[in-house]
Amino acid sequence: KPFWHKRLTYRGGRGSSPRAPPITMVLPQTVLRSAAQGPALVELKNGDSYSGTLAAVDNVMNIRLEDVVFTPRSEYRFERLKECTIRGQFVKFIRFPDDILERVVAEEAAARARSGGGGGRGGGAVAEAALLLDL
């Protein structure tokens, strides 16, 4: 047989097993959009930080904050701003309450269960047709 017909084997990391439960992947945009209207701390690559209410996030991670406390990295004073916009390419990290991530994972699992799986090439249409036939 040619070399590309090798049998694939599982080679997980330390402590992993082939039967481990699947890890739910959540996209950053989904988390940020669900964190809107909540508290957030944004740190920039230059060390400055902004803390306030997350008002909006767009596709390139530009962020709009309201009721902001701006703290420069080199000074021990802070400024209050009514609102500010931060360009996405300058963001180092965004911190928000921990329960947001858990809520997003639960919402995506519920949406996946409602859709009936339906992964790949017409799988959703087959599941929908099966539901129609059962009626």
pLDDT digit string, tens, across residues 17-74: 555 555 566 677 778 887 888 899 999 999 999 999 999 998 888 999 999 999 998 8
Give percent of the chain with pLDDT exceeding 70: 65
Mean pLDDT value of segment 124-131: 52
Q: Which pLDDT score, from 0 to 100, does residue 10 have?
A: 42
Model confidence at 97: pLDDT above 80: yes
Question: Two tokens at 118?
Answer: 């339906």
Question: Two tokens at 42?
Answer: 């944004």
State which H helix or E strand residue 106 sits in.
Answer: helix 99-115
Q: How far is CA 78 from CA 13, 42, 53, 68, in A?
A: 45, 14, 16, 10
Instruction: Give the model's confidence band at 3: pLDDT under 50 very low, under 70 low, under 90 confident, else very high.
Output: very low
Q: Which pLDDT score, from 0 to 100, does residue 123 have?
A: 53
Contacts of 7 (CB under 8 A, 6+ apart): none
Instruction: Give the model's confidence band at 6: pLDDT under 50 very low, under 70 low, under 90 confident, else very high.
Output: very low
Q: Which pLDDT score, from 0 to 100, does residue 25 have?
A: 64
Q: Which pLDDT score, from 0 to 100, does residue 126 have?
A: 53
Q: Which pLDDT score, from 0 to 100, does residue 52 have?
A: 94
Model confidence at 87: pLDDT above 90: yes
